[in-house]
A = this chain, B = another copy of it.
Amino acid sequence: MGRFVPVHHEAHDDCFAEEASQVLAGNGLRVTRPRRAVVELLERSPRPMGAADIHQELRTQGIRIDRASVYRVLAVLEAQGLVHRVLSAQGYMACHPPTHLHLHGGTEPADHSCHHHLVCRACGRTLETHCDGLRGLIDTIVERTGFQVEGHVLEIVGTCRECRQK
């Protein structure tokens, strides 16, 4: 079973914003104020945020951005793999490029950087974990079904340690 490395989102360092800028610039996209603001907001958020949440929070912070722009910015960031749509929470979350959409490289060796989400029902926070044990399971499925795996999503719902202790 693989190594387990819990990473709480609040603990992210700010280098992601810069990393995001490089990805955008490297793809001929501009690093604008709204884009940077969304990236930084999602990076700091302990939980996935929906388009409406993002819009409201940025306005609260005094950043002038239109609702339509939030959608456009999210579309661009998602296409660049800088943001990931967290499914069951219908929200978006910052996502470092290496874990790019959970997509595995085609015929490349196993990607052990895949991460999963632990969503706490009580406090709503999402913890991110890294654990390559899933890879073996997926390999088994590939072997038995002939299914060619391009990506996966594993989301675990429950109660985090802190909330259990209350």
Contacts and interface: CB of A to CB of B under 8 A. Distances in A.
- Copies per complex? 2
Interface in A120-166: 120-121, 127, 129, 131, 133-134, 136-138, 140-141, 144-161, 164
A133 B144 contact: no
Contacts of A158: 147-151
A156 B129 contact: no
Contact of A137 (B120, B131, B140): B131
With a 10 A CB-CB cut-off, give which of A137, A145, A161 has the most chain B CB atoms.
Answer: A137
A131 B141 contact: yes
Interface residues of A, number: 38
Nearest to A163: B148
A105 B161 CA distance: 18
A61 interface: no
A87 interface: yes
A156 B160 contact: no
A127 B147 contact: yes
A1 interface: yes
Task: Identify the 10 closest CB pairs spanning chains A and B, nearest first.
Answer: A146-B161, A87-B87, A149-B158, A150-B158, A133-B137, A148-B159, A152-B156, A4-B144, A151-B157, A153-B155
